[in-house]
Amino acid sequence: MINRISERNYSRWLILLIDQLIIFWALSMSFLMTHRVDFISIFSKEFLFYTGSYNILSIGVFTVMKIHTGMIRYSNTEDILRVFSASLICSSIYWVSIPYILVTNPGTNYELFQKTVVLNFFISSSMLVMLRSGVKKVFNISQLDKSEDVHTILIYGAGKASVLIKQALENHPQFKYKIAGFIDSDMDRVGKRIEQVRVYNFYAISDLKEKHNVSEMIVISNSLNKYASRQAMEECMELGIKVLTVPPADQWLNGQLKQNQIKDLKIEDLLQREPIVLKKKNIIQEISGKRILITGAAGSIGSEIVRQVLEYKPSSIILVDQAETPLHDLQLELEDKQLEAKVVLCMANVQNHRSIYKIFKAHRPEIVFHAAAYKHVPMMENNPSEAILANVLGTKNVADLAVEFEAEKFVMISTDKAVNPTNVMGASKRLAEIYTQALNQKSSNSLVNDLLLTGDERFLSESTTLGTKFITTRFGNVLGSNGSVIPRFKAQIEKGGPITVTHPEITRYFMTIPESVQLVLEAAAMGQGGEIFIFDMGQPVKISELARNMIRLSGLSPDRDIKIEYTGLRPGEKLYEELLNQKEATIPTYHQKIKISKVVEYPYNFVMENISDLLEINMYGSETELVRKMKEIVPEYRSNNSRFEELDAMLQTI
């Protein structure tokens, strides 16, 4: 019966009638109380005149303020305030009109009548508010009672944003949530109630789960990186409580929270850190109105560079990649956007000097972002020749052409695996770093000599680097990139396990793709040539713990529902990644998350000679000879869990 009543939308005139009956009753009770329950006065003509005139006034005020047009079951705080305001306006007008009303009955006690009006205001406003609150409560209870899939939830936080979430969940019929409490770390709030819902400390989550069968907790997305919220989320995951995220209220569609905006917590959210603050003015000056070339543009890092660079309004952007389908997908994505910049897509392999030369000649880029590379460690360990072709020869081709066509800057995307490399992939990226740094010296020195020969010394200074400026950015694993462990773990969980981890102690640095690219652009803007920028990657993450958290986020229990198996280190893999060589030191920059690594620099002629020998061996020699040469050029390269470990012992005896 209650369900049928609650589902009907009654006429707004019926609501107005009910409001007026309440007002009439409240004024009658006020008269009775101020006249010491004198029923004779209630049935007098004067009383009917007073109440009639008050109802006529309230009908006018309530109609003008449209109090009767709202659906009572969805009343919120604003609706309650409007009802209160309407009652106050009616009482105030009637108060001011008392002298004129009493003219018709001069025998009425003036002060007693004033008390009646004041008392009526409190009674009528309270009853009108109680009506709306009661109807809303009954409706919510009836909806929950008849729903078979009601979720008892917690809301993290007890501030204004969390209250808005509570109201949005309670006021919309599509949400089937019963709120058991707020969770907050502020002890001034703990133990208090907000809109009849109690605030608890995160220590109480276990008891709340047992008492109320709590199944989910909602967290606002912009508070995920706070220590206190992480504690609560970790407690929920341990207890098997699902964690959901919602965007802040200013991101709700048309001011309303939608079902599709309530999302499952992702492992990327747990690894999220404080937002990066960029000096966008520097980046705008660097990129705006210029021709930008990006290699590896269809990859996970390259495509994000494309998206972020376009925000700074370059004149044109040239996208180079050899992968046809990903490049086509990127083209479709960009076609859906209204872009001011001219976009040119080029199918080309950076190993092919002729193809890259044609691109440089046709478009003459001013800034080059070089993201094209092979990056899978075990794959490159088994195919060292391909690693050299892509990561060394490919980098050399693009870098040489950047100098030839007088590009302003060349920004190379490197990796933490280039530090004390234990595998072919890391060593090949270190070789690319060495070459571009040496080329930076050569490019600068060549122009300096040209200026000295012509006698033009106007632009020479110790602090200015001339020619193409070569900049390297070095960071660790990026979440969501192609080949990341996270998609693999997700697929294994969907299959029911097991999750395979190489070693129980293996750790890695992680950073989100947008975060890493933001820092790349910042480093590109601040770089003056020759620097290797390293990024603050936060604390290293143990992969086994990452796997356990992903299992918990899926609502399952590690080791019980999903097993974790350790398969052993793969060829070339090491337990701990490093961002610095033991011989390297860092210099801070104006950005707290970016530092400059002071690495050993080699003369250009030495580097060019050795790189040429390496490329020749790659063409005609064996893989063993190739890797031996790599170890000669990069003395800190020591193979780990690899077939090339015996070369280290041989080189040490020489």
216 sits in which H/E element: strand 216-220
Residues 218 and 319 reside in one and the same domain? no
- H helices of 10-76, in order, are 12-34, 39-42, 45-64
Residues 178 and 88 reside in one and the same domain? no
Q: What is the pLDDT of residue 46?
A: 67
SS (H, E, C) 460-524: CCCCCCCCCEEEEEEECEEECCCCCHHHHHHHHHHCCCCEEECCCCCEECEEEHHHHHHHHHHHH
Q: What is the pLDDT of residue 101?
A: 62
Q: Comparing C-alpha atoms, which of 398, 379, 616 is closest to residue 387?
A: 379
94 sits in which H/E element: helix 77-101
Q: Which of 215, 236, 265 is the last residue of a domain?
A: 265
Q: Do the domain assignments include residue 647? A: no
Distance CA 133, CA 219 (A): 27
Q: What is the pLDDT of residue 456?
A: 46
For residue 458, what is the DSSP state?
T
Residues 247 and 287 reside in one and the same domain? no
Residues 139 and 156 reside in one and the same domain? no
Residue ranges of the chain with per-residue pLDDT less than 50: 1-9, 447-465
User: Which residues have C-beta within 8 Å of that of residue 345, sequence separation ≥ 6?
Assistant: 297, 319, 327, 330, 331
Amino acid identity of residue 39, one-letter, is F
DSSP string, 161-215: HHHHHHHHHHH-TT--EEEEEEE-S-TTTTT-EETTEEEE-GGGHHHHHHHH---
Q: Which of 217, 241, 265 is the last residue of a domain?
A: 265
Residues 121 and 97 reside in one and the same domain? yes
Residues 157 and 96 reside in one and the same domain? no
Q: Do the domain assignments include residue 650? A: no
Strand order in the sheet with 316-321: 342-347, 316-321, 291-295, 367-370, 409-415, 469-475, 532-535, 594-598, 585-588
Residues 213 and 295 reside in one and the same domain? no
Bridge partners of residue 197, in order along the sequence: 194
Residues 12 and 125 reside in one and the same domain? yes
Q: Do the domain assignments include residue 11? A: yes
Residues 336 and 196 reside in one and the same domain? no
Residues 86 and 186 reside in one and the same domain? no
Segments forming the whole domain that contains residue 181: 148-265
Distance CA 410, CA 528 (A): 11
Q: Do the domain assignments include residue 178? A: yes
Q: Do the domain assignments include residue 502? A: no
Q: What is the pLDDT of residue 9?
A: 46
Amino acid identity of residue 621, one-letter, is G
How many domains does one find in the chain?
3
Q: Do the domain assignments include residue 594? A: yes
Over its C-alpha atoms, the chain yields an Rg (Å, rounded) of 36
Amino acid identity of residue 212, one-letter, is H
**CATH number of the structural domain spanning residue 245:** 3.40.50.720
Amino acid identity of residue 548, one-letter, is R
* 15-63 confidence digits (pLDDT tens): 778 877 887 887 777 777 776 655 555 556 667 777 777 778 787 777 8
Q: What is the pLDDT of residue 40?
A: 56
Residues 76 and 31 reside in one and the same domain? yes
Residues 104 and 218 reside in one and the same domain? no
Distance CA 385, CA 428 (A): 10
Q: Angle at the Cα of 25 (from 19 to 28), degrees rounded to 5?
A: 145
Q: What is the pLDDT of residue 651?
A: 67
pTM, 2 dp: 0.68
Q: Do the domain assignments include residue 641? A: no
Q: Which of 127, 144, 161 is the last residue of a domain?
A: 144
Q: Do the domain assignments include residue 172? A: yes
Query: Half-sphere exposure (CA, 13 Å, Cβ side) for 650?
Result: 12
Q: What is the pLDDT of residue 610?
A: 94
